[in-house]
Amino acid sequence: MKIALTLINFPEKCIPKEWKIEHNIKLLEVDGRCEALEAILEFNNNDNRDFKKLLSTFKIQLRSKKILHEGSRLSKYSANKEILEFKSNRGHSRLFGFLSENSGSIIICTNGYWKTTGKKAKQDAAFRRADTLRNLYFD
């Protein structure tokens, strides 16, 4: 069965176009469902201030040629370093994605989750989901 993949724009209300200096940023929709967009709305509804911290991470990333250093704002999947977890610093919002350089440099967000303490399994599952979506995209 054929899967429909679409790249949609990150809402400009969240990522103004003037932030997109070195990279563009898009959200992956698979068969009419956009998990990243669902996550964005959940983050904003849960805690608008925490969500804005995640957006500040993206603002830093979008102006930097290189992918951010791993730390409080970014983690990489141990099984596939191409899978990136963007984080709100000292917060709960987590958005996953990868870099595509097929037509310009685009960060493609796949899915996300709201981190709560001691839920490593949830993070692992989100990383695996992002990896699966990335494979779908490149296949």
Partner 1 sequence: MNPTHKKTQELLEEINGLPNLDFDKDPEFLADYANGLIVQDILNLMDKKQISQTELANMIGKSRQYVSRILIEKRNFTIKSIASFACALNCDLNLSITERKTAANVEVNENVEVNKLLLSS
Residue 82 touches partner 1, criterion: CB under 8 A: no
Q: Give me the count of residues in the chain.
A: 139
Contact stretch for partner 1 (CB under 8 A) within 71-79, 97-105, 111-119, 129-137? 71-79
Burial 34-58 (b: 16+ CB within 10 A, else e): bbbbebbeebbeeeeebbbbbbebb
| 123 vs 104: CA distance, rounded Å | 29
Residue 71 touches partner 1, criterion: CB under 8 A: yes
Residue from 21, 31, 136, 138 that binds partner 1 (CB under 8 A)? 31
Binding site for partner 1 (CB under 8 A): 8, 11, 13-14, 16, 29, 31-34, 37-38, 40-41, 44, 48-49, 52-53, 55-57, 59-60, 64, 66, 68-69, 71-73, 89-90
